[in-house]
Structure 1
């Protein structure tokens, strides 16, 4: 009997593992392989693997623009990583050590920066800093006074403002494990604060700082939002914009897209390899036993608080205020005069049947649908990775984690080629140019992050719960519906919202894959900006942000309602059980009714 059950469990794992691998191969490996193989087989889409050639690399690297793009990627990415390391570490220390007033508000603003799409912030900066822009009108700055922003230095600064929360999150986790033993010992010996930080704390926090800086480097190099907003004005060669330009050529330069995609992945891989190489040359262990928390003081310098809020206002409030001001104007060039303010941009965007309204609805449904699908599919794949063993499980894990390093523009380019091949026509699988293709690209980009979140949550569930369910004959569907899903409901809700808020403004996949005459919200916003209708684009941006807040509020109300229903049901069950219990006189004297009720409530809830 036991052997039969064990065999059944093995069959169930097998039926879960290989379909999971096939799903990720179809969603990620096939499109990615298609775009990268274009560099080695220039006629892959028409003639298959018959014409192997390195001519694409020779032609691409003969172009001086390619070298400039690579050098700019290394220079801009490295400078951005260094600057974000300073900003992120500074704010992590301020918040963790409670050195400022209102650290909760500071934390909220940092998380808002982290979740805001890069191209929204980039467009806001353009509106504020361009000639005859909002900032020039407000401060009467002469033409050319803000041109420094559209230089490599301005781009590095803007990207650092956008990406420093990555380092902040990493260093904050490192500070929690740092303890105070070494620092207190140094202060006992007379070391000053600056010396303590430079000789003790910063070296011990170096792995956390380097991890955040590496992610910031990869994000800055692969970011398409800043590239699409600033390259047309700054004329700075960037790899992501070069890939976009090659795809939009007529005819499409397939081989150049493949070469540039391979170069972009190579630059990111170089950064990840460098991180491992650096960390492998030293020991940074700081947790040797129970961590002694840092003793907080009530000393909170006003100067630090003012500086922190001023910095965040520049990094977040300033660019988004450009979007907000523009959305209420007829024409931003006319400046701040009463006759220039209007609600017409919002009226046009919300007009039922307009292209803007349809774009908002399409993006809303796609983002919500993908969020729900990716969250629940992520639970299944995370369960297989966490509970499975053997080569197939390890392969699935490596495939999932490697996808996190793939830039969104490269994955979207892969979908252009993978689902537009001539051999798919007889099978009716030519999905390019349909919303299904957009959905699959959204899903491929979101699924790895969903799996990571679900793995973290599943590791907190005791294996004995699942084993007990299997011993009592529960199948896979019962395990998921009765145990996993209820226990992971909080993580599932958070995952759905995070994916939704990201995909509503997802630019690379939307820009490259949207069907003709079926524009999506980010495409419509970029279209308005490109047509110099920045006021209408800003109104759509503000509406999208408001929509995200509304969905978040509705989600919180639903969660609160479900908790109340669960609490009311639990109280009703407790009262029913207590009313049926006939407690003898001896039991009444030894065990109070309140103790019995508390024990029942623990078991029910």
Structure 2
């Protein structure tokens, strides 16, 4: 039956080519533009002068460039190592022991995964700075020197990025295959030796996946250096790319070279992970595998204490600091009744407030990105799971690469592509307009939606769609009447996730926002850079709460509407059955 989809003139094949075209325009073309610009720096400005390969090696001669590369590698490597260790330890504790606060650990992991890094970084800055919460409220002046150094920044990033490893290892430990460990112990292995030689090697795919995701997300992170810029100088590749475009003179060569190294490092990490995984067989689930049940112990309170202390540090300090500062008139005056104010929140109610305008603009952009990204994600999932399209591997690779490519690199590529004079004649000169923000946000939402759609579609039998196709149902009819109803929960989750992440995308909006047009993350970050901490934190708390409320209300409305629709259908069927019985009796 799948041979039906191999014909290049069928609707699924045309859908596959449409997906390729969309991914090429939105993701691959901007990425290629950044790389091409390194060797042909004038190609996007009407010149074809070949610059040679010498510029690639100048990163080791120019101090800022080399410092940015060194800082990024050190921060990403340290965070990947510590984040994987921390995430693995927490995952083992979560799956092996039963304690009351383990669901709070799950919530914190997902919250840290969704919350933008610049908001978490701002909370840590407010807590750790010289006039911050730690020094003024608790008298811990040593926190400033501890945090504002490379090791301290690695610690902060570890607390923000560990969920990648935690979720990956938790999923790997879902099944209990203790027979391997028991066999090792029967042959004389100690508990530590069995852990080191049996259990940990079986978790290599999860450990590598978590470590790779932490490394890639950290090295491309824009939020931390952007938040630190006001109080601590720590240039990284992503932030130096941004400054090269927004300082005089504009340095496209610097942006191109740093982007090249950033993408090259990410590709090397992905290839290394793939090489390790292909060298061995890591399948270990057999017919004896059962779902793992946490062990009930009398000392579970110890795990609750450890977990609670960790949650206070990981989530309580940054969010609590932001909440506390939002009610303080002056940060340096400490916590007192005289320093308490509602002023920062009342400023937000001003109809002309930059935050209010930024929130409105960001919601509109994120709504478009969420809806269109979801549609494209469904199409990608359909092509990858239910067709034999010839270039499925390329589509899968592009969707994964786009998930790893930092927003600053994608933003630069959009400048090169959509800032061409010839586009004005066909009304497609999008640079300097809100439309380019929508396109870039869609590009950022597509890989998130696609990954969620692929995982959902793998659970749906191909035979359902094949049977409908044999009966003459069109592609659109099969998707609308079979696929989408079976995926309604995943569709809602993917759409809301794409919407939420698009609203707080600081990197892309900082690079591409047009003149006299502001977005929420840019407005918050600008207030933070101006040292208006109270207003920035009040805006963060208010907008974050409002956006979560909107998402939850929309989720409830959709689920409620679907439930009412199912009840109406059941009620109508009941009436039909009753009418049929009456007719038979007559």
Q: TM-score, normalised by structure 1?
A: 0.90
Deviation by residue 1:337-370 (Cα, 9 ceiling, x = unmatched) = 2122122211211222322211111111211221
Greater displacement, 336-345 / 221-230: 336-345
**Relative to 1, partners in 2 of residues 1:488 and 1:192: Cα closer, same or farther, differing over 3 Å?**
same
Asked if 1:575 corresponds to 2:571, the answer is no
Deviation by residue 1:234-269 (Cα, 9 ceiling, x = unmatched) = 322311111111111323211221111010111112
**Relative to 1, partners in 2 of residues 1:400 and 1:6: Cα closer, same or farther, differing over 3 Å?**
closer
Matched ranges for 1:523-542 at <5 A = 523-542=522-541
TM-fit CA distance, 1:407 = 1.5
Matched ranges for 1:176-575 at <5 A = 176-177=174-175, 179-187=177-185, 193-294=191-292, 296-299=294-297, 300-575=299-574
TM-fit CA distance, 1:231 = 4.5
CA contact (8 A) 1:375 1:495 kept: yes
DSSP 3-state at the match of 2:203: helix
Structure 1: runs of 5+ lacking an equivalent:
586-605
Structure 2: runs of 5+ lacking an equivalent:
none
DSSP 3-state at the match of 2:38: coil
CA contact (8 A) 1:359 1:521 kept: yes
Q: Distance in 1 between matches of 2:384 and 2:283?
A: 28
Q: Distance in 2 between matches of 1:354 and 1:146?
A: 33
Q: Which residue of 2 aligns with 1:591?
A: none
Q: Which residue of 2 aligns with 1:45?
A: 44
Q: Distance in 1 between matches of 2:254 and 2:144?
A: 35
TM-fit CA distance, 1:270 = 2.1
TM-fit CA distance, 1:190 = 6.7
Q: Distance in 2 between matches of 1:560 and 1:391?
A: 37
Greater displacement, 120-129 / 560-569: 560-569
DSSP 3-state at the match of 1:233: coil
Q: Distance in 1 between matches of 2:549 and 2:421?
A: 43
Q: Distance in 2 between matches of 1:387 and 1:206?
A: 30
Q: Distance in 1 between matches of 2:471 and 2:48?
A: 53
TM-fit CA distance, 1:520 = 0.4
**Relative to 1, partners in 2 of residues 1:275 and 1:15: Cα closer, same or farther, differing over 3 Å?**
closer
Q: Distance in 2 between matches of 1:124 and 1:345?
A: 16
DSSP 3-state at the match of 2:551: helix
Q: Distance in 1 between matches of 2:523 and 2:342?
A: 19
DSSP 3-state at the match of 1:391: coil
**Relative to 1, partners in 2 of residues 1:183 and 1:470: Cα closer, same or farther, differing over 3 Å?**
same
Matched ranges for 1:581-592 at <5 A = 581-582=580-581
CA contact (8 A) 2:127 2:318 kept: yes
**Relative to 1, partners in 2 of residues 1:294 and 1:478: Cα closer, same or farther, differing over 3 Å?**
closer
TM-fit CA distance, 1:302 = 2.1
CA contact (8 A) 1:376 1:492 kept: no
From the CA coordinates, give the structure whose radius of gyration is larger. 1
CA contact (8 A) 2:37 2:43 kept: yes
Q: Distance in 2 between matches of 1:516 and 1:6?
A: 47
Deviation by residue 1:472-495 (Cα, 9 ceiling, x = unmatched) = 332233223222222222111101
DSSP 3-state at the match of 1:139: coil
CA contact (8 A) 2:5 2:13 kept: no
Greater displacement, 389-398 / 400-409: 389-398
DSSP 3-state at the match of 1:252: coil
Matched ranges for 1:50-129 at <5 A = 50-129=49-128
CA contact (8 A) 2:6 2:388 kept: no
Q: Which residue of 2 aligns with 1:36?
A: 35
Q: Distance in 2 between matches of 1:577 and 1:15?
A: 41
DSSP 3-state at the match of 2:404: coil
Q: Distance in 2 between matches of 1:469 and 1:93?
A: 45
Greater displacement, 47-56 / 105-114: 47-56
CA contact (8 A) 2:7 2:13 kept: no
Q: Distance in 2 between matches of 1:310 and 1:57?
A: 47
Deviation by residue 1:182-227 (Cα, 9 ceiling, x = unmatched) = 2334455675544432332222212211210111111111111112
CA contact (8 A) 2:369 2:499 kept: yes
**Relative to 1, partners in 2 of residues 1:9 and 1:210: Cα closer, same or farther, differing over 3 Å?**
closer
Greater displacement, 352-361 / 81-90: 352-361
TM-fit CA distance, 1:9 = 8.7
Deviation by residue 1:46-78 (Cα, 9 ceiling, x = unmatched) = 124343433432444320332232232222211
TM-fit CA distance, 1:378 = 1.5
**Relative to 1, partners in 2 of residues 1:51 and 1:552: Cα closer, same or farther, differing over 3 Å?**
same
Q: Which residue of 2 aligns with 1:600?
A: none
TM-fit CA distance, 1:105 = 1.9
Q: Which residue of 2 aligns with 1:165?
A: 163
CA contact (8 A) 1:42 1:53 kept: no
CA contact (8 A) 1:177 1:286 kept: no
Q: Distance in 1 between matches of 2:8 and 2:28?
A: 29
Q: Distance in 2 between matches of 1:232 and 1:354?
A: 23
TM-fit CA distance, 1:174 = 1.1
Greater displacement, 472-481 / 20-29: 472-481
RMSD: 2.4
TM-fit CA distance, 1:7 = 10
Q: Which residue of 2 aligns with 1:595?
A: none
TM-fit CA distance, 1:497 = 0.9
Q: Which residue of 2 aligns with 1:603?
A: none
DSSP 3-state at the match of 2:515: coil
Q: Distance in 1 between matches of 2:265 and 2:292?
A: 39
Greater displacement, 283-292 / 260-269: 283-292
TM-fit CA distance, 1:296 = 4.1
Greater displacement, 100-109 / 211-220: 100-109
Q: How many residues align?
A: 581
**Relative to 1, partners in 2 of residues 1:6 and 1:210: Cα closer, same or farther, differing over 3 Å?**
closer
